[in-house]
Chains A and B, each alone.
Chain A
Amino acid sequence: MKKLFDRVWDGTDQMVELAEKALAETIAELGESAPAVMPNTAYNLSCYMAWLGKEIATLGDLKAAFAEAKAMNVHEPRLGNVFEAGKATFLAAETIEACRYAKDPDPYKGEYHGHLTDAEVRALGVPLVTGDIPGFVVIVDPAPSDDAAVELVKGYQSRGIYVFLLGGIIDQLKSKNFAMGIGVRVVPVGPDPWQVCHVITVVHRAAMIFGAVKPGDVEAFDDYSFKRIFAFVNAFAPVRDIVVGCGAGAIAMGFPVITNDEKDMWPVPKSLLIQPDVDAFIDTSLEARDIKIKITNIDIPVAFSSAFEGEIVRKSDMQVDVDGSKFDTFELCRSRDVQDIEDHKIELIGPDFDKFDAGSAIGMGIIVEVGGKDMQTDFEPVFERNFHYFINCIEGAMHTGQRDVLRVRLNKDAYAAGFRAKHFGEVLYAKVKSEYEAIVDKCQVTIITDPDTLAKERAEAKKIYDKRDERLGSLTDESVDIFYNCILCQSFSPSHVCIVTPERLGLCGAVSWLDAKATHQLDPNGPCQVVTKERVIDEKVGLWEDVNENVSKYSHGNLERVSLYSIMVDPMTSCGCFECICGIEPLTQGVVIVNREHGGMTPIGMSFPDMASMTGGGVQTPGFMGHGKQFISSLKFMKTEGGPARIVWMPKDLKELVGAKLNASAKALYGIDDFTDMIADETVTEDPEELLAYITEKGHPVLTMDALV
């Protein structure tokens, strides 16, 4: 077998030889002083400009510079030499084309596109740099069949990928009357490998125009093409050595080559991929170059909009009733290896909706599998929780519940419009891919209606839910290296910053540590930023130097210190959207907690709105603090002041909501059983004296604790 390095060098030698010949002939014909310029560009012969820092005006200039290009073709088996040889191939290719244009400024007469003008580069460059065009492909030589050629190019077109064509594939498309041209983003560049220089110059000019890269700064060009230009090559078998030489140049620029040629071809991870199946070229290529395709439309027969979010499907109007109280139901998001996922595969296991009588109750399971290099198991529940919202946005569908107790209804109009089980998959696929674009590379959905599979998969799902709960339970402030902040509310509460930790969710109740983590990953410049916790001041009070610095920075200097576990020492501020407020009750030296929904009075003589006016707006009021409902049962709740044993009064509804978890925490912390029974509520009293009498009678632990104030 011929070695890859040798193939590259042979290819480079061939191109250099052709260039040498072309240059000698052209100079003999026109003389050295004749211009060697491409039409309508301020960046003439950009390979020479970019890699050698040469401004070329005449054939004489080109001759001198070509000597330097040839010197780059060193046949020593080092990776760097192969890349240099690859670039030399492009320089030689540009030399050949420069000679051609020197003889005739319009050598292709419309048959091929050849050189692109600066205006064309700018028009292509803007969407390329902004990501509106996700990338471009250079397809070299004929596909195995004319139809395969059409299929491949159409596939790229439908994904918004810009296509450049070289060699025989152009004739294949012509024979199929396939429309080509700049307008349809399929450009027939030229018949031979050396016209590849017209594509390479697009990259160089983009770097100089959009990236302000200076001619001759080779490193900056390499960096720009690797980081900003999402290009790749598809080369069809048999791949000639001269194309291999060009391929080395492409790889040197950061552009992977995908081929179906298995003969004398050596796969190089991420750079040279052998994919014998031409139908899989697109997926292999996009994955190799990390290109994500934006999903813009959802393929369903009814409308999709947040306007339908609150829509209710009544019994009389119901075609399908997925009923978790009678049948197996579940929804599950799980991560898998990217290789194991077939993107956009929607599978239905079991009968479709048209096999059931109108209005009958059924079971249904939904499994959404996602993969991507930044995907983490921790994001599964974050995505899954939004299935509710995604499904509710379907016109004619309603979704309630979560995990393995669901109620999903579809109305008769949606069914009549053709909505079937797989359309739930379409919606979830499109939404998961677009909402979590930064994380999810591939996604497939399975919908299950078959009772046996359903029972089996539901049991599997339950194991995953249990594992998640275990993970949540073990997730403590001590077990993580970083917290997150959240400044979502700063638009109306400019100086407030939430510090979100595993054991202390945002005071709105809507942002847990995992949510904040996912938010940060999805939108690195967004409202949730990393807060380090390396320099402890006092772990009991929850004071860190880094946390203070972060709060000071993000409150723009309004707050200097914030404690995470105390309501007396620098308590965390509130925006105004707190679920609950707790405040000191002086007589018992405990605290009362009141939730937003509670309309009545509290034993401290203040209602929720009264307390809210002292607590919101980003100010610190020691003795008062806004917080989320789930924080009440946290082991970090008022840890400094002795923990949840300080709670002496809560509205009954709130007690019922958090009771089980609070009892568990009290048992763990103090060994007290049924702690919530010791806490008074509005049915007991709203009077401080009576409150004291009540908790004394109950033997409430606060009575033995040190005074708060």
Chain B
Amino acid sequence: MSFTKSPQVFSSKVTEIEIGTGSEAVRLGGENTLPLYSFDADTKNPPLVGIDFSDKGPDTDIPGVAAFFAGADTLGAVAKRASEAEGASFVCFSLNSADPNGDDEAVDVSVAKCKEVADAVTKPLVIQGSGNAEKDAELLGAVAEALSGKNVLLMSAVEDNYKGIAVGAVLAYGQKIAAESAVDINLAKQLNVMIGQQGVSSDSYVMHVGNAAAGYGFEYVASAMERIRGAGLSQNDDMLQAPILTPLAADAWSVKESIAPEEDFPEWGPAEERGINMEVSTAMACLASGSNAVILKHPESVKTVAALVGELV
């Protein structure tokens, strides 16, 4: 008996959103199949890989990262170098210095940094805030204003600050935002509903539904993403059809497997290699579970994941 292919295609699809401007603008989402099921139907926009760097400069503790950014001694130069990483479709700039529990850098200083970065790259830009809800409401609004016209994506609007960010970044300045919730389909949906109620259209936000490093409770992440995609595609729940964007460098590079020195665990092999493996494994798990884009730190991981996606989709 011959094999008859029966493609599993849904009548609903993931919402398509665009970040960036000009020829290097990218689009996320748009597929009507399960993640990476390019054999069922055209994926439309293959999953994307972004490269992350902090406003404190590249992570020089990791030799490969340090080597990649060697010689880039201004933020603009670092940004430009990052945008040239093989496989990176977009650049993610993280405002770690803005954290009120850390350096608590003034908003105008952070904004000036964002401008320097934005001026240095032509690829689409994602800006991650301080991670503090209250500070981000102010910070991301100011960044949205300063980068008006650049169509950047700002992370993240959370339950405690979504109103100001939705209105201040999307409605006032036409930027894109990520709606961040903690590994729970209902919380994700609720936040999307509330952001929608502010008047934000569905092509203006993505979801960041939480993350964990592979092996560190990742099954919750996989389950949440799978259920969100399922609800969006098979049940046509239009409040769960936004593309998923997952920044995972911080998780992947903070677990023991990635950072324990080789002297302590000689049988595990070189630390950097392990970190890359952890980052790549986590990234692929996210993409297989439903992420439309991942944000990574190590240029080698970026290259590897982009190559894998290229082979699969």
- Which residues of A are in contact with B by a Cβ distance under 8 Å? 122, 125-127, 129-132, 209-212, 487, 490-491, 494, 525-527, 553, 556-557
Contact = CB atoms under 8 A, between A and B. Distances in A.
30 contacts: A126-B141, A126-B168, A126-B172, A129-B163, A129-B171, A129-B198, A130-B164, A130-B198, A131-B163, A132-B164, A209-B172, A210-B171, A211-B199, A212-B199, A487-B186, A491-B183, A491-B184, A491-B186, A491-B187, A494-B185, A494-B227, A525-B193, A525-B197, A526-B190, A556-B185, A556-B227, A556-B230, A557-B230, A557-B234, A557-B235
B167 to A, nearest CB: 5
Given A122-B145, A525-B193, A130 B184 contact: no
Nearest to A125: B172
A469 to B, nearest CB: 34
Interface in B151-176: 163-164, 166-168, 171-173
4 shortest interchain CB distances as A-B pairs:
A130-B163, A210-B171, A126-B168, A491-B184
Interface in B222-244: 223, 227, 230-231, 234-235
Contacts of B235: 553, 556-557
Contacts of A525: 190, 193-194, 197
Contacts of B167: 125-126, 129-130, 210
A336 B230 CA distance: 47
Nearest to B240: A556
A134 to B, nearest CB: 13
B172 A490 contact: no
A585 to B, nearest CB: 36
Contacts of B163: 129-132
A129 to B, nearest CB: 5
A122 B199 contact: no
A490 B185 contact: yes
Given A127-B164, A490-B185, A494-B227, 17 more contacts: A122-B173, A125-B172, A126-B141, A129-B171, A129-B199, A130-B166, A209-B172, A211-B171, A212-B171, A490-B186, A491-B186, A491-B187, A494-B223, A526-B190, A556-B227, A556-B235, A557-B235
A212 B199 CA distance: 9
A491 B186 CA distance: 8
Nearest to A127: B164
Nearest to B231: A556
A527 B184 CA distance: 12
A209 B197 CA distance: 16
Interface residues of B, number: 27
Looking at B167, B173, B183, B199, the one whose CB has the most chain A CB atoms below 10 A away is: B167
Nearest to A495: B227
Contacts of B172: 122, 125-126, 209-210
A130 B197 CA distance: 10
A126 B173 CA distance: 11
B293 to A, nearest CB: 24
A126 B163 CA distance: 9
Contact of A527 (B166, B186, B198, B231): B186
A490 B193 CA distance: 18
A209 B171 CA distance: 6
A125 B198 CA distance: 13
Nearest to A119: B145
Contacts of B194: 525
Contacts of A494: 185, 223, 227
Given A211-B199, A527-B186, A126 B164 contact: yes
Nearest to B239: A525
B119 to A, nearest CB: 21
A132 B166 CA distance: 13
Nearest to B234: A557
Contacts of A487: 186
Nearest to A491: B184
Nearest to B168: A126
B216 to A, nearest CB: 17
Contacts of A209: 171-172
B135 to A, nearest CB: 15
Nearest to B197: A525
Contacts of A130: 163-164, 166-167, 198
Contacts of B185: 490, 494, 556
B221 to A, nearest CB: 13
A491 B210 CA distance: 13
Looking at A494, A527, A553, the one whose CB has the most chain B CB atoms below 10 A away is: A494
B142 to A, nearest CB: 10
Contacts of A557: 230, 234-235
Nearest to A552: B235
Contacts of A553: 235
Contacts of A526: 190
Nearest to B164: A130
A490 B172 CA distance: 35
Contacts of A527: 186
A72 B124 CA distance: 49
Contacts of B183: 491
Nearest to B173: A122
A210 B198 CA distance: 9
Looking at B172, B197, B198, B231, the one whose CB has the most chain A CB atoms below 10 A away is: B172
Looking at B185, B186, B227, the one whose CB has the most chain A CB atoms below 10 A away is: B186
Contacts of B198: 129-130
A129 B170 CA distance: 13
A211 B167 CA distance: 10
A210 B173 CA distance: 9
A491 B163 CA distance: 24
A553 B186 CA distance: 12
Contacts of B234: 557
A642 B173 CA distance: 64
A526 B187 CA distance: 9
A526 B186 CA distance: 9
B284 to A, nearest CB: 23
Contacts of B184: 490-491
A117 to B, nearest CB: 13
A211 B200 CA distance: 9
A131 B198 CA distance: 11
B256 to A, nearest CB: 26
A43 to B, nearest CB: 13
B285 to A, nearest CB: 18
A121 to B, nearest CB: 9
Contacts of B227: 494, 556
Interface string B190-205: 1001100111000000
Looking at A122, A132, A487, A553, the one whose CB has the most chain B CB atoms below 10 A away is: A122
A526 B194 CA distance: 10
A173 B167 CA distance: 33
Contacts of B186: 487, 490-491, 527
Nearest to A494: B227
